[in-house]
Amino acid sequence: MAKTVRTVQKIESRASLTSSTPDIEQPRKRVAAYARVSTDSEEQLSSYEAQVEFYTRYIKGNPSWEFIDVYTDEGISGTNIRKREGFNRMVNDALSGKIDLILTKSISRFARNTVDTLTTVRTLKDHKVEVYFEKENIYTLGTKGEVMLTIMGSLAQEESRSISENVTWGKRRSMEEGKFSLAYKHFLGYEKGEDGLPRIVEHEAEIIREIYQLFLGGSTVRSIADHLTAKGIPTPAGKKKWSVSTIMSILQNEKYKGDALLQKTYTADFLTKKVKKNCGEVPQYYIENSHPAIIDAETFDLVQKEIERRRPHRHQLHRSSPLNAKIICGECGGFYGRKVWHSNSKYRKSIWQCNCKYDNESHCSTPNLNEDEIKNAFVTAFNQLLDDKASHIARLKEIQTELSDTSLLEEQLHAATSEHARLLANLRQYMEENTRQIQDQTEYNRKFNEMDAACQEQEEKIASIRKQLLDQQTRKEQVARSMSFLVEQTDYIAEFDADLWNAMIENVTVSLDKTLSFRFYDGAVITIDLSAETPKSTK
């Protein structure tokens, strides 16, 4: 039997076949370019304009190319493509078949994020769109294109990381030196002065002062926002409608008392530019008396105390009334709140009752109160206080003197801060020793946790002392306000006065027998029997 001879036949690719027909003119390649600068400086903008002019002339000067466009982005960072409108428009045009070739100066101009660079290039490559990086001399449809892109893209990303770290370092150095700036376009009350520091804009400062006064006068944050909206006052961002969050940010911003807390937030990722609230991850800097104050420190601290007082019951303080968070149930200790009965009928009326009345199986037995009853009882109690005005003023002066002495708390704070610094230094030294020489890691972790717990315990102690200082300072301010109102009040009052109520009353306790015990800021307690409508007892 004859042996079968194995044969191999080559099948030529169609691309290798030469046409026997005359050459047909190839269609012109549709070419675009991309140009970007990352800042708005005059020097960079000059470079940007030069790039646009160069690529326009360069593409139009090639007879085999058809000029499509020069896509541009000004003052945009290259670390993320989401905010680059020109770049995104160019990619969309390319994917829809309008572009064959994209020219750009370098990988770093295209993107400084390796993932974004490769993802975009591969997407374009799948649609037969080529990118040419002039500086690196890379054509992405070439065999070596993707390998070179990966290497060069990584280098560009590291360059971006280095720039980000340098910028962060520079900002923190400025903070250490007490330098700071405000976003003046969205910050009510200040403008940039000739010396570079914040300068008060008086007509805006009046709005800030009104917000603080309204809040201390018993208004809720929501009612303040509605009030400013109704008056047609624009928000710091220039909007017509005020929000609760905007009012709260104004009430809690230390810059209005002339101080500045720096680095409240930080950039967690230089690629995504994600900003996070600083909860101890990076250092903060507090500058006292950094610029002129709109709100005095005492009023500011008093507002912070009032915010803290209202916070546990904020869901119950939806209505604006000076009685909110002042009236206490004598049975369960909860606050009284205003409730509306028969809201959709002619019998509609408002009453005050314990907010926790029906929370437990055994309901609170304290009585419901009519708002006028409470206000009239206050008028009676305050007029009774005026009968012994001199002794109450003397008592307020004594309390003010006692509260003015914060030396003991300040000594405790200094000692606790010094001890915390010592513990933290020891912890850092222990961590450095572990990097220099090999240790038993089980023992190291045990001791580290022990030392870290001691630092945290000291931090809690410092926070507690600071809270006591704030409480004492705000109570001192409240006593001063109470004394000022009492000194100025020369006659009996005939009707309820909200400012007088807020200045004089610390709280009111409702008893089961429908008696109201008014506690004034000097410690005096006057009890009014609503059923008898006459003073029942004093002190």
Indicate whether 335 and 265 sit together in one domain.
no
Is 386 within the bounds of a domain? yes
pLDDT at residue 210 in the model = 92
Q: Which CATH number covers residue 133?
A: 3.40.50.1390
Indicate whether 386 and 496 sit together in one domain.
yes
Give Cα 288 to chain centroid, integer Å. Answer: 20
340-350: burial string, b at 16+ Cβ within 10 Å, e else: eeeeeeeeeee
Indicate whether 133 and 275 sit together in one domain.
no
- The half-sphere exposure of 134 on its side-chain side, counting CA atoms within 13 A, is 12
Indicate whether 85 and 159 sit together in one domain.
yes
User: Residues 133, 139, 145, 151: what is their CA dihedral angle, to the nearest 10 degrees?
Assistant: -10
User: Residue 263's closest CA among 243, 286, 239, 242?
Assistant: 286
How does DSSP assign 491-509, residue by residue? S--SS--HHHHHHHEEEEE
Tell me which of 118, 143, 164 is where a domain ends: 164
Indicate whether 293 and 345 sit together in one domain.
no
Indicate whether 99 and 150 sit together in one domain.
yes
Angstrom distance (rounded) from CA 54 to CA 36: 13
pLDDT at residue 461 in the model = 93
H/E element, 5: none
Tell me which of 164, 179, 204 is where a domain ends: 164
Is 305 within the bounds of a domain? yes
Is 21 within the bounds of a domain? no
User: Residue 327's closest CA among 357, 365, 302, 354?
Assistant: 354
Indicate whether 307 and 348 sit together in one domain.
no
- With a CB cutoff of 8 Å and minimum separation 6, the contacts of 191 are 184, 198, 199, 201
Quickly list H helices, 64-144.
85-95, 107-110, 114-126
Is 388 within the bounds of a domain? yes
- Label the pairing between strands 349-354 and 336-341: antiparallel
Q: How far apart are the first and last CA of the chain?
A: 131
Is 465 within the bounds of a domain? no
Angstrom distance (rounded) from CA 268 to CA 248: 25
User: Residue 78's closest CA among 134, 25, 117?
Assistant: 117
Is 332 within the bounds of a domain? yes
Indicate whether 307 and 387 sit together in one domain.
no
User: Residue 523's closest CA among 489, 474, 475, 487?
Assistant: 475
Angstrom distance (rounded) from CA 245 to CA 68: 47
Indicate whether 217 and 342 sit together in one domain.
no
- Label the pairing between strands 29-36 and 101-104: parallel
What is the residue-level pLDDT of the chain in tens, covering all 539 positions?
555 666 565 455 444 444 444 445 568 899 999 987 764 444 444 566 777 888 899 999 898 999 999 998 875 554 455 567 888 899 999 999 999 999 998 877 776 566 677 778 888 988 999 999 888 788 888 766 667 666 666 665 666 566 555 555 555 555 455 566 677 788 899 888 887 788 899 999 999 999 998 888 767 788 889 889 999 999 998 899 999 889 999 999 888 998 887 666 655 554 445 666 656 555 666 778 788 899 988 888 888 887 877 765 555 444 457 788 789 999 988 889 888 877 777 777 788 999 888 877 778 899 999 989 999 999 999 999 999 999 999 999 999 999 989 999 999 999 999 999 899 889 888 888 877 777 788 888 898 889 989 998 998 999 899 888 888 888 888 898 899 999 999 899 999 988 889 889 999 999 999 999 999 999 999 999 988 755 444 44
Phi and psi torsions of 252, nearest 5°: -110, 0
Angstrom distance (rounded) from CA 130 to CA 213: 64
Give Cα 275 to chain centroid, integer Å. Answer: 10
Is 358 within the bounds of a domain? yes
Angstrom distance (rounded) from CA 458 to CA 415: 10
Angstrom distance (rounded) from CA 273 to CA 113: 12
Phi and psi torsions of 106, nearest 5°: -160, 170
Indicate whether 285 and 221 sit together in one domain.
yes
pLDDT at residue 28 in the model = 87
Indicate whether 363 and 274 sit together in one domain.
no
CB 214, CB 264: distance < 8 Å: no
Angstrom distance (rounded) from CA 112 to CA 106: 10
Angstrom distance (rounded) from CA 385 to CA 395: 13
Tell me which of 287, 316, 345 is where a domain ends: 316
Domain total in the chain? 3
Specify which residues 72 forms β-bridges with.
Answer: 35
Angstrom distance (rounded) from CA 461 to CA 412: 10
Is 221 within the bounds of a domain? yes
CB 480, CB 522: distance < 8 Å: no
User: Residue 109's closest CA among 78, 138, 80?
Assistant: 78
Strand ranges in 263-393 using DSSP code E only, listed in sequence order? 265-269, 274-277, 285-287, 327-329, 336-341, 349-354, 369-370
Angstrom distance (rounded) from CA 316 to CA 337: 7
Domain that holds residue 126: 26-164
Indicate whether 364 and 494 sit together in one domain.
yes
Give the three-class secondary structure for 425: helix
pLDDT at residue 205 in the model = 92
